[in-house]
Amino acid sequence: MEFERLRIGAFGGLRDFDTGEEPLPRLVVVHGPNEAGKTTLFSFLTSVLYGFYPASRDGNPFTPWGGGNIDCGAVLRLADGERWEVHRRLMGSPSGSLTRGTTQSDLRNHTLPCAEHVPRTVFREVFALTLSELAHLEGESWARVQDRLVLGMGSSDLASLRQVVQDLERDAGRLWRPNRMGHQRIRDLRDQSRELRIRRGEAAEVDRHMREKAAERARLRGELVEARKERQACKQYVDRYRALVPLRIQLERLDGLLEDVGPEDDLAHLPSDPKEALDELADDAAKLARHIEEIEAETEEPTERVEAFGPEQKLLLDKAGRLREWIATVTSMEPTRVRVGQLEQELRDLERRGESASRELFHATWGEVDKEILNSVSIGDLRMALAMYREYVEERRIALEAVRTEAERKESALPFHKHLGPALLVAGVALVAGSSVFLGAPLTIFGAVLAGIGAALVGVMIFFQRRPADRSAEMAKERLTRASDAEEGAREEVAKKVIALPMRGPIVERPTDDLANHLERLQDVDSQTQDRTQLLAQLKGELDGAGAQLQEIAGDLEGLPPDPAQAAHILDGRIREAERAKESARGARRELERLARDRARSEDELGRIQSNVTLLEGRLRDIGKGDLERGIRLARVRLEARERADQLREELEFSHDDLDEIREKIRIAEDAGEDWAIDEDAIEKRKAREEEMVLLIEELGRRVESVERDLGDLGSKATVDAVDGEMAALGERLAEAVEERDRLWVLAAILREAERRFRFEHQPDILRAAGTHLKTITDERYDRLFLGDDGEGAFLLQGPGYAGPKQVGEPISRGTREQVYLAVRLAIVDFLDGGGERLPMFMDEAFVHWDGERRERTFDLLAAASANRQLFVFTCHDAIAASLHERGALRLNLETRL
């Protein structure tokens, strides 16, 4: 693969750079002064092949200095002749296109497919490594370069193999080395292990000591127990003679008293003075008997009170609620009762008034008068009729006066009896009328006779009057007649209005206004009578209802008057009395209950006393062998003995808290047959021994405490199992360290072996090719290049012009070293891209330190190499550019500084 054309729109300081349509040759020399853009052009070519790195506009150092975006491209021709056109831009993000023939593809920032067989970093460091940089590497750096160029075959992602091996061996050596040089962790751990074994022995010794101490403590505790026992025995002995003997005497006395007491059961709960107790019991029994009699007497009065509250009263109280309601009702009806009396009185008054008025008007009693007819008379009409009648009477009186006047004039002609006939007539008519109603037939006949006589007399008179004597008289008479007729008509009209009433005749004959007034009064009387009668009936009904209600409520009660008011009064009294009786009975019952309880208690108490008396007498008789008095006497003696025994025991117990224990000690001593005789020598010896034992106990206690302290101290020290654990942990760490050390060592050995194999497999070809190139450059002074076996990986030179292998480095000249590495580099790149496109190679100022002959031979070599690979040589030296140009190189001049 080779570049045919380079086009730069903008890349770093380069702008509008174009090599033109003429394809670039395989050998190109880029000539220009320093900072003319040679490095920029080199980076441009790398970017065309591999894309931008860094891939951001801001981060890329070749973003155009004057602003804008990177814009560049190239035309490539591949080994098979295919022509590729590449265009790349770096704006916000990288973009690119690849045109192959008529097909364009999006390249983005990817590596060109024709360069993928060589990684970008390898390309930059091997195909474009500047020899001037190599020339300055010395010593260790030389080895790194050799690693990178030869062992790593340019694999820039690998660390220096030599360094890695050294690191592994160093790390392994820190853990362990076969020799004793330096600090070694494993040896330290083994030293620690030895120390731990010593500590383990110490811990075992501590454990043994602890067991010994524990055994000693057990022994001392045993001795302590024995000493305490002996001290206790001595103390008991001394106590016995100092305290137990007097006490034993007291106890013996106590036992004697208890013997006098005899069986305790006989005296259990006996009074201290049985006789006095029996007397007191008899007194109490008598008092109780009297009290019971009093209770019986007190019972009579309340019993009567209870009985006084009988069934009738109970019945009454059962109904007391309703009865009280009824009484209240009856009491509230008292005004009604008064009103009834008033109404009755008023009715009687009205009756009298009616009767009186009736006597004036009627020939019948007031009771006989038909009230309906009476009330049917219109008083108004009657008054009008009476007024009419009064007028006609006056008219007739006037007419009569006239007649009389005329008559007086002819007085003499007229018999005295001229008035007799009408009088008789009227009387007779009135008698007929009145007799027909009240007097019977005989008077009617008599009246009719009288009326006949009267009529005859009237006729006579009329006859005489009709005598043609005097016309005026005659007219007066006629007027009188008319007036009389009218009067009669009016009177009849009045009479007609009261015709249905049994009116007295005179009243009808000569009716006056009193007729209307009387009738009106009578109608009023009747009206009032009716009203009051109706009201009376209503009120009486109410009163009768109360009576019926009483009957319903208290029909079974005897002795109640029918009158509700009286009955209410009586009932109220009875209820109050029944309530008092009931209350009294209740109180009486409580009293009776109290008396009953009192009696029951008294009887119980009496029974208990009698029982106690019986029991006590029985027990006393038992004590007295059937004789009560003797029993009383003996019991008293024994009780007194017991009292003294109790006092003695109390005193002993007060002065000796452990009396039972002491008694037990005495018993044990007695059982053991101890001698209770006092031996002062023996007591003193025992006291002295007790003191010895006290001292011994204190000493043993101190020794036990000391041993326990020792045990505590020993227990705080490392135990064997703890040291064993530490040893185990150390052993584990030691095993881990040994394994880790050997592992690191083995890894280092693996890498060394890998290096050896690789060198064996690949270096011969590369070095052979490099030796060939070096032979050309040095004009056969050096014809072989190889790596030494000293493990340092140094290049060695050999050739016919040199006596023996010569290590590359000082004192070999810098130019020779550069020539070696150029030769190696030319060999390596052929190895690296041997299976793919041959990538261009760049050299920058590689020949400055070289002598002219070797440089010329090198240019010949490069010209020959350009047959297989495009070469770009960057130089600021015109002579170098010219020399290469002479060998067919295209000269690209970067004339001006950027």
H-helix or E-strand spanning residue 229:
helix 185-239
Q: Which is nearer to another protein, 727 or 777 (CB)?
A: 727
Least distance from another protein to the Cβ atom of residue 832, Å: 10
Of the candidate residues 57, 521, 638, 741, the single one contacting another protein (CB under 8 A): 741
Helix (H, G, I), strand (E, B) or coil at 469: coil
Q: Within a 13 Å sphere around the CA of 844, how many CA atoms are in the beta-carbon half?
A: 21
Give φ, ψ of 893 to 5 degrees.
-100, 125
Q: Which stretch binds another protein (CB under 8 A): 206-214, 348-356, 476-484, 653-661?
A: 206-214
Q: Which is nearer to another protein, 306 or 751 (CB)?
A: 751
Give the gyration radius of the chain's Cα atoms.
Answer: 87
Q: Which is nearer to another protein, 159 or 456 (CB)?
A: 159
Least distance from another protein to the Cβ atom of residue 157, Å: 4
Please state at what angle helix 185-239 crosses helix 161-175, rounded to 10 degrees. Answer: 30
Strand partners, 90: 70, 94
Of the candidate residues 59, 341, 725, 801, the single one contacting another protein (CB under 8 A): 725
Of the candidate residues 151, 662, 839, 880, the single one contacting another protein (CB under 8 A): 151
Of the candidate residues 109, 132, 156, 356, the single one contacting another protein (CB under 8 A): 156
Least distance from another protein to the Cβ atom of residue 649, Å: 43
Of the candidate residues 99, 155, 236, 612, the single one contacting another protein (CB under 8 A): 155
Least distance from another protein to the Cβ atom of residue 866, Å: 27
Q: Which is nearer to another protein, 686 or 741 (CB)?
A: 741
Q: Which stretch binds another protein (CB under 8 A): 146-154, 220-228, 397-405, 525-533?
A: 146-154
Q: How many residues bind another protein (CB under 8 A)?
A: 55
Instruction: Based on the shown chain and the rule CB under 8 A, indicate whether residue 724 belongs to the binding site for another protein.
Output: yes
Give φ, ψ of 716 to 5 degrees.
-80, -10
Helix (H, G, I), strand (E, B) or coil at 18: strand
Least distance from another protein to the Cβ atom of residue 106, Å: 24
Q: Which is nearer to another protein, 182 or 263 (CB)?
A: 182
Q: What angle do CA 328, 329, 332 make, to 5 degrees?
A: 85
Q: Is 833 exposed, middle or buried (0-12, 13-18, 19+ CB in 10 A)?
A: buried
- Rounded CA-CA distance 747/744 in Å is 5
- Rounded CA-CA distance 95/88 in Å is 6
Q: Which is nearer to another protein, 682 or 735 (CB)?
A: 735
Instruction: Enumerate residues 159-178 that contact another protein by CB under 8 A.
Output: 159, 161, 164, 167-168, 175-176, 178
Of the candidate residues 78, 135, 137, 210, the single one contacting another protein (CB under 8 A): 210
Instruction: Enumerate residues 752-791 that contact another protein by CB under 8 A.
Output: 752-758
Q: Which token pair is 633?
A: 């006497």
Strand-pair category, 795-798 with 103-106 = unpaired
Q: Within a 13 Å sphere around the CA of 665, how many CA atoms are in the beta-carbon half?
A: 20
Q: Which is nearer to another protein, 198 or 735 (CB)?
A: 735
Q: Which stretch binds another protein (CB under 8 A): 74-82, 208-216, 353-361, 820-828?
A: 208-216
Q: Which is nearer to another protein, 121 or 772 (CB)?
A: 121
H-helix or E-strand spanning residue 27:
strand 27-31
Q: Which is nearer to another protein, 499 or 754 (CB)?
A: 754
Q: Which stretch binds another protein (CB under 8 A): 26-34, 155-163, 456-464, 813-821?
A: 155-163
* Per-residue binding letters, 701-720, with another protein (x by CB under 8 A): --------------x---xx
Of the candidate residues 28, 186, 261, 697, the single one contacting another protein (CB under 8 A): 186
Q: Which is nearer to another protein, 460 or 751 (CB)?
A: 751
Instruction: Based on the shown chain and the rule CB under 8 A, indicate whether residue 474 belongs to the binding site for another protein.
Output: no
Strand partners, 786: 796
Strand partners, 506: none
At position 683, the amino acid (one-letter code) is I
**Is the separation of the CB atoms in 281 and 613 below 8 Å?**
yes
Of the candidate residues 17, 241, 745, 847, the single one contacting another protein (CB under 8 A): 745
Task: Give Cβ neighbours of residue 256 (< 8 Å, ≥ 6 apart).
Answer: none
- Rounded CA-CA distance 781/712 in Å is 89
- Rounded CA-CA distance 468/412 in Å is 16
Least distance from another protein to the Cβ atom of residue 86, Å: 22
Q: Which stretch binds another protein (CB under 8 A): 64-72, 207-215, 510-518, 857-865?
A: 207-215
Q: Is 287 exposed, middle or buried (0-12, 13-18, 19+ CB in 10 A)?
A: middle
Instruction: Based on the shown chain and the rule CB under 8 A, indicate whether residue 310 belongs to the binding site for another protein.
Output: no
Instruction: Based on the shown chain and the rule CB under 8 A, indicate whether residue 55 belongs to the binding site for another protein.
Output: no
Q: Is 525 exposed, middle or buried (0-12, 13-18, 19+ CB in 10 A)?
A: buried
For residue 57, which of 5, 12, 24, 105 has the smallest C-alpha distance?
12
Task: Give Cβ neighbours of residue 445 (< 8 Å, ≥ 6 apart).
Answer: none
Of the candidate residues 218, 456, 735, 864, the single one contacting another protein (CB under 8 A): 735
- Backbone angle region of 17, left / alpha / beta, with phi > 0 → left and psi within -120 to 50 → alpha: beta
H-helix or E-strand spanning residue 871:
strand 871-875
At position 713, the amino acid (one-letter code) is D
Q: Which is nearer to another protein, 161 or 550 (CB)?
A: 161
Least distance from another protein to the Cβ atom of residue 186, Å: 6
- Other CB atoms within 10 A of residue 655 CB: 11
Q: Which token pair is 423?
A: 């009088």
Q: Which is nearer to another protein, 513 or 753 (CB)?
A: 753
* Per-residue binding letters, 99-138, with another protein (x by CB under 8 A): ---------------------xx-----------------
Least distance from another protein to the Cβ atom of residue 729, Å: 4
Q: Which is nearer to another protein, 570 or 751 (CB)?
A: 751
Strand partners, 76: 3, 84
Of the candidate residues 279, 301, 732, 851, the single one contacting another protein (CB under 8 A): 732
For residue 338, which of 96, 471, 536, 619 has the smallest C-alpha distance?
536
For residue 520, which of 350, 365, 380, 712 has the smallest C-alpha distance?
380
Instruction: Based on the shown chain and the rule CB under 8 A, indicate whether residue 211 belongs to the binding site for another protein.
Output: yes
Q: Which stretch binds another protein (CB under 8 A): 38-46, 152-160, 435-443, 887-895?
A: 152-160
Least distance from another protein to the Cβ atom of residue 122, Å: 10
Of the candidate residues 456, 469, 600, 722, the single one contacting another protein (CB under 8 A): 722
Q: Which is nearer to another protein, 130 or 156 (CB)?
A: 156
- Rounded CA-CA distance 732/240 in Å is 72
For residue 233, which of 660, 665, 582 has the smallest C-alpha distance?
665
Strand partners, 199: none
Least distance from another protein to the Cβ atom of residue 112, Å: 18
Task: Give Cβ neighbours of residue 345 (< 8 Å, ≥ 6 apart).
Answer: none
Q: Which is nearer to another protein, 127 or 392 (CB)?
A: 127
Of the candidate residues 249, 600, 688, 750, the single one contacting another protein (CB under 8 A): 750
For residue 166, which of 136, 140, 142, 189 has the smallest C-alpha distance?
140
Residues of this chain that interact with another protein (CB under 8 A) are 120-121, 151-153, 155-159, 161, 164, 167-168, 175-176, 178, 186, 204, 207, 210-211, 214, 715, 719-722, 724-729, 731-732, 735, 738-739, 741-743, 745-747, 749-758
